[in-house]
Amino acid sequence: MTQYGFYIDSSRCTGCKTCELACKDYNDLGPDIAFRKVMDFEGGMWTSDANGCWTTDTFGYALSDGCNHCDNPACVEICPTGSLIKDEKTGFVGVDTATCIGCGSCTTACPYGAPKLDDAASVCVKCDGCKERVLAGGRPICVDACPVRALDFGVIDELRAAYGDLSDLAPLADSAMTGPNLVIKPPAAADSPSIDTGFLANPLEVA
């Protein structure tokens, strides 16, 4: 099996959400469903010293995230009907909507929130890695749409050889949980000493 994955250069990401909108347009998604989401992570504080001088360790960065087509996808493991399937040719995780019963188990099991429940159709829907585009020699629409080239795509081993093997960056879940096929270049802000004070600043937008 050829395992494909994504590279995210968070040091370049401006949080413009073009990747998110291109994905929604290509997959004809309604306003309540987004396969790719851009998270705004912020933290830190201002501190005054005895002389009334103020210093800050505040920080903020944007991080684009979608389905990471994990080695051990929690959605596949928990699906009671076997409707979530890891493709043997590409490593993409897709859903067979013909057998899906819309129970929502996958939506709660995935630590990245990738599967979504389409309430109108009562089925799970999710990113399939733009499988048809990839098999035709193209790339996922989100990658091609990024105006600052913060996203890349390819065989995961090749991405790791080119960019490293970091796949953990707040506020993402611990990569040890599912083995995501993801490589991240962190922004300089991720070196902030106050990183543990960080919080997701747009939770309703990415829910």
Residue 131 has pLDDT above 90, yes or no: yes
Confidence of residue 153 (pLDDT cuts 50, 70, 90): very high
Confidence of residue 135 (pLDDT cuts 50, 70, 90): very high
The pLDDT of residue 66: 97
The pLDDT of residue 207: 82
- Alpha helix (H) residue ranges in 45-202: 74-78, 105-109, 131-135, 141-145, 156-163
Distant-in-sequence, close-in-space partners of 164: CB < 8 Å, separation ≥ 6: 183, 185
Q: In the predicted model, what is the mean pLDDT of the chain?
A: 96
Q: Is the whole-model pTM more than 0.85?
A: yes
Ramachandran assignment for 116, one of left (phi > 0), alpha (psi -120 to 50 degrees), beta (any other) = beta
Sequence ranges of the domains in the chain: 4-42+58-206
Mean pLDDT across 73-102: 97
Mean pLDDT across 183-205: 94
CATH code of 4-42+58-206, in short, is 3.30.70.20
Of 38-42, 46-50, 95-99, 142-146, which range is least confident?
A: 46-50
Residue 89 has pLDDT above 90, yes or no: yes
Per-residue pLDDT tens for 57-68?
A: 899 999 999 999
HSE-up (13 A, CA, CB side) for residue 203: 4
Residue 193 has pLDDT above 90, yes or no: no
